[in-house]
C-alpha cells in the first residue's frame, strides 16, 4: 500500500464534540484561520495559543486575558480537550503507564520513565501497529488506526496535567524528553506525527527542543530524509538483526526496505554528525541474534555512521516466541562493539511489572474483546 493510501485507510475520525471542533492539534496557521473565521484579529489566535500550550488551559472561561464575549464564542465553537484516562499504573521503579481512550473507543498507552537527570515520556503514534515484528507485543494487536495530531500531542499535555506542570517550569520538570517509541510506526503516520511534534517544539508553547525528541522507526526508508529535514529530531532505528535473512524474519518491513537501503538512509540522515548520532536499537534474543559474529557484523555494517547502539534485553510478554539473551551474552556483545569504539549501553528494563517496558505495550481493550469473542454464547 502506498503511504497516502495507508494514511487514508487508517485515518482517525474527525475531532468534533457536539458540532464543536477540537483546537488541540491544529497547526498555528490552522488555528489562526479558525479565529479569523470568527472575525477576530490575528493577535487573538496568538493569545489563545499561549493559553492552550503554555498554560495548558482546557476551559475557555479560565482564559482571563480574553474578553468575555470572545471566551463564550470560543466555548460555543470549540473544545480544548484531552484523551480520557482509562487506567493509570505505577511501577515499583517509578515508571508510569497510562491507558488512554479516545471517543471512538480506541486505546493507546503512554509511558513516563523517570531517571536521575531527566524524565522521558514515551508516546504512541498509532493504535496498534501494522509491522508485526516477531518479538513485539504491539504487533499482535489486530485493530490499527493512525492517531491524529491532537491525540499525539494530547498524550504529552495529559501527562503535564497529571504532574501539575502548567506552565512548564524551566527546571526540575518531570518531562524533559520525548520519544516516539510507543505503539505504532511513526513514519507510517508522518503527517500527524510531524504536526504534533511541531506543536511540541513551538517555543511559545510546550517548548521541547528537537534535541530532546527522538523518533524511532523500524526503517521506513522513503520517509527518513523528510523526518530529518522537516523536524530535525534525533533518529533511532530498530535494527535487531544485521543480516537480511534474519531481519526479514524479525522485522518483516525489511523485505520492503532491506539493510543496504536502510543503512544508506542512515548515512544520509540530515544533521547527523558525531555530536548527534543515530541510535540503533537492538533487542537481545537468546540464540537468535546475540552471537559474537553478529556483533562483529554490526561493527562492519555501521562503519562510518555516527552511531550508538542501544542493547535492549528482550522484554517478555504472554506467548512470546523468544527469550532474553543471558547477561554474559549481552556483555560479550557490548564488549565487541565498544572495542570498535561504538557506544553500546545496555538499556535497563523499566516498568516491566506493569507491562510498560519496550515492546510490551498493547491496549487491554483489544485483548478483552478477543476473549469476549472467543467465549461461548
Instruction: Point out which residues bind ligand SAH (CB under 6 A).
Output: 133, 135-136, 181, 185, 216-218, 238, 240, 281, 283, 312, 314-315, 358-359
Distance (Å, whole) CA 373 – CA 369: 6
Q: In terms of CB distance, is 52 or 213 closer to ligand SAH?
A: 213
Catalytic residue among 40, 107, 109, 185: 109
Q: Give the nearest distance from C-beta 220 to ligand SAH in angstroms.
A: 9
Residue pair 29/16 in contact by the 8 Å Cβ criterion: no
Distance (Å, whole) CA 138 – CA 233: 24
What angle, rounded to 10 degrees, do the helices at 28-37 and 42-49 form?
130
Mark whether 266 is an active-site residue. no
Q: Give the nearest distance from C-beta 184 to ligand SAH in angstroms.
A: 6
Q: In terms of CB distance, is 35 or 354 closer to ligand SAH?
A: 354
Geometric angle at alpha carbon 260, from 338 and 123, rounded to 5°: 70
What angle, rounded to 10 degrees, do the helices at 190-201 and 149-163 form?
40
Q: In terms of CB distance, is 26 or 262 closer to ligand SAH?
A: 262
Q: Give the nearest distance from C-beta 20 to ligand SAH in angstroms.
A: 33
Q: How many residues make up the chain in this entry?
A: 377
Residue pair 241/247 in contact by the 8 Å Cβ criterion: yes
Q: Give the nearest distance from C-beta 137 to ligand SAH in angstroms.
A: 6
Residue pair 142/67 in contact by the 8 Å Cβ criterion: no
Q: In terms of CB distance, is 52 or 131 closer to ligand SAH?
A: 131
The H-or-E segment that residue 76 falls in is helix 68-77
Minimal CB distance to ligand SAH: which residue? 359
The H-or-E segment that residue 127 falls in is strand 126-127
- Burial of residue 360 (CB within 10 Å: 0-12, 13-18, 19+) is buried
Mark whether 129 is an active-site residue. no
Residue pair 158/83 in contact by the 8 Å Cβ criterion: yes
Q: Give the nearest distance from C-beta 27 to ligand SAH in angstroms.
A: 24
Q: Give the nearest distance from C-beta 283 to ligand SAH in angstroms.
A: 4
Catalytic residue among 122, 227, 266, 358: 358
Q: In terms of CB distance, is 48 or 220 closer to ligand SAH?
A: 220
Q: β-pairing, 107-114 with 96-101?
A: antiparallel
C-alpha cell at 107: 486505546
Please count the CA atoms within 13 angstroms of the CA of 337 that sit on its side-chain side.
Answer: 25
267: CB partners within 8 A, 6+ apart: 304, 305
Q: Give the nearest distance from C-beta 75 to ligand SAH in angstroms.
A: 37
Tell me the sheet residues that pair with 146: 126
Q: In terms of CB distance, is 40 or 281 closer to ligand SAH?
A: 281
Q: In terms of CB distance, is 80 or 285 closer to ligand SAH?
A: 285
Residues with active-site annotation = 109, 358
Amino acid at each position: 500500500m502506498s503511504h497516502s493510501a495507508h494514511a487514508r485507510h487508517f485515518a482517525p475520525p474527525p475531532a468534533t464534540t457536539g458540532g464543536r471542533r477540537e483546537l488541540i492539534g491544529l497547526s498555528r496557521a490552522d488555528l489562526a484561520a479558525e479565529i479569523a473565521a470568527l472575525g477576530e484579529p490575528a493577535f487573538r489566535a496568538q493569545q489563545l495559543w499561549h493559553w492552550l500550550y503554555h498554560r495548558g488551559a482546557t476551559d475557555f472561561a479560565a482564559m482571563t486575558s480574553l474578553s468575555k464575549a470572545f471566551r463564550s464564542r470560543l466555548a460555543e465553537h470549540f473544545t480544548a480537550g484531552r484523551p480520557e484516562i482509562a487506567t493509570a499504573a505505577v511501577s515499583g521503579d517509578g515508571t508510569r503507564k497510562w491507558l488512554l481512550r479516545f471517543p471512538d473507543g480506541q486505546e493507546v498507552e503512554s509511558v513516563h520513565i523517570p531517571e536521575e537527570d531527566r524524565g522521558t515520556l514515551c508516546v504512541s503514534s498509532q493504535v496498534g501497529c501494522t509491522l508485526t515484528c516477531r518479538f513485539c507485543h504491539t504487533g499482535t494487536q489486530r485493530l490499527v488506526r493512525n492517531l491524529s495530531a491532537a491525540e499525539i500531542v494530547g498524550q504529552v499535555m495529559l501527562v503535564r496535567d497529571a504532574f501539575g506542570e502548567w506552565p512548564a517550569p524551566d527546571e526540575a520538570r518531570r518531562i524533559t524528553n520525548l520519544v516516539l517509541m510507543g505503539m505504532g510506526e511513526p513514519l507510517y503516520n508522518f503527517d500527524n506525527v510531524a504536526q504534533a511534534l511541531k506543536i511540541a517544539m513551538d517555543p511559545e508553547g510546550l517548548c521541547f527542543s528537537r534535541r530532546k525528541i527522538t523518533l524511532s522507526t523500524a526503517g521506513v526508508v522513503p520517509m527518513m530524509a523528510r523526518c530529518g529535514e522537516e523536524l530535525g529530531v534525533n533518529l533511532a532505528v530498530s535494527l535487531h538483526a544485521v543480516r537480511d535473512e534474519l531481519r526479514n524474519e524479525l522485522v518483516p518491513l525489511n523485505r520492503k526496505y532491506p539493510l543496504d537501503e536502510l543503512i544508506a538512509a542512515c548515512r544520509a540522515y540530515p544533521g547527523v554528525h558525531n555530536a548527534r548520532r543515530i541510535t540503533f536499537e537492538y533487542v537481545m534474543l537468546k540464540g537468535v541474534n546475540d552471537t559474537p559474529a553478529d556483533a562483529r557484523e554490526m561493527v562492519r555494517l555501521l562503519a562510518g555512521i555516527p552511531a550508538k547502539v542501544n542493547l535492549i534485553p528482550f522484554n517478555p510478554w504472554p506467548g512470546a516466541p523468544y527469550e532474553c539473551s543471558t547477561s554474559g551474552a549481552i556483555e560479550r556483545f557490548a564488549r565487541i562493539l565498544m572495542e570498535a569504539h561504538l557506544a553500546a549501553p545496555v538499556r535497563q528494563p523499566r516498568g516491566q511489572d506493569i507491562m510498560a517496558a519496550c515492546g510490551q505495550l498493547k491496549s487491554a481493550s483489544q485483548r478483552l474483546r478477543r476473549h469476549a469473542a472467543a467465549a461461548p454464547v
